[in-house]
């Protein structure tokens, strides 16, 4: 039994290896077309890599600060709306509890109160989900717009600098960086100038 499993595993490994090799070595409709005009080596440029520190961009770019402030504002608005709905539910609950303790509730009143509280609770859950979805959508759109603005600026910036790659430095991802290729100051300055111009 053990030998049969061993043979089966060896056969499966060989088959998987064969499929991988044939998949990656197979030519699809002739040779792969390369855009040599865009290749750094073809235009005699050396391979150059630059980076920027995203935490510095987040701390110093006006656009990022404005977006973060807008996100915080929206979060407070949503929290305030939710608090109002929760307060209305608690008030209604206390009102019914006082009537029950006072002995002024009939069985029909009690059943009506239960139904009323259930409907209020359902509305509260629905509103919480709706506001949460609106907030998440807003945050996601804002972050995508920021990313797009940074990418567009870097694309323009790189027409002159001609780096092969520009990456965002994040701690834990890279273990060494040469500060000669740190373009964070250029990026923050350029983004701020561009943002001021658009805002005015």
% of the chain surpassing 90 pLDDT: 46
Euclidean distance between CA atoms 168 and 147, whole angstroms: 11
As given in the structure block, the two tokens for residue 52 are 């920027």
Q: Is 72 among the domain residues?
A: yes
Domain total in the chain? 1
The mean-pLDDT minimum among 72-76, 141-145, 169-173 falls in: 169-173
Question: pLDDT tens for residues 25-41?
Answer: 655 554 445 454 555 55
**Under a CB-based contact definition with an 8 Å cutoff, are residues 188 and 60 in contact?**
yes
Give the tens place of pLDDT for each residue, 48-63. Answer: 889 999 889 999 999 9
Q: Alpha-carbon distance 66 to 72, whole Å? A: 10
Residues spanned by the domain of 44: 37-199
Residue 48 is encoded by which pair of tokens?
Answer: 């150059």
- Does the residue 5 lie in any domain? no
């Amino acid at each position: 039994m053990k030998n049969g499993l061993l043979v089966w595993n060896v056969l499966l490994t060989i088959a998987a290896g064969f499929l991988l090799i044939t998949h990656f070595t197979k030519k699809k409709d002739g040779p792969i077309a390369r855009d040599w005009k865009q290749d750094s080596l073809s235009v005699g440029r050396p391979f150059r890599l630059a980076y920027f520190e995203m935490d510095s961009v987040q701390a110093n770019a006006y656009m990022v600060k404005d977006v973060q402030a807008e996100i915080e504002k929206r979060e407070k608005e949503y929290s305030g709306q939710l608090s109002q709905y929760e307060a209305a539910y608690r008030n209604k609950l206390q009102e019914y509890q006082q009537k029950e303790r006072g002995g002024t509730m009939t069985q029909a009143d009690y059943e009506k109160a239960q139904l009323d509280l259930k409907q209020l609770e359902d509305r509260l859950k629905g509103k919480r989900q709706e506001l949460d979805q609106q907030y998440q959508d807003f945050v996601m759109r804002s972050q995508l717009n920021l990313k797009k603005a940074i990418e567009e600026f870097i694309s323009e910036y790189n027409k002159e600098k001609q780096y092969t790659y520009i990456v965002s430095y994040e701690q834990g991802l890279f273990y060494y960086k040469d500060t000669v290729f740190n373009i964070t100051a250029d990026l923050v300055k350029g983004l701020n100038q561009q943002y001021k111009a658009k805002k005015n």
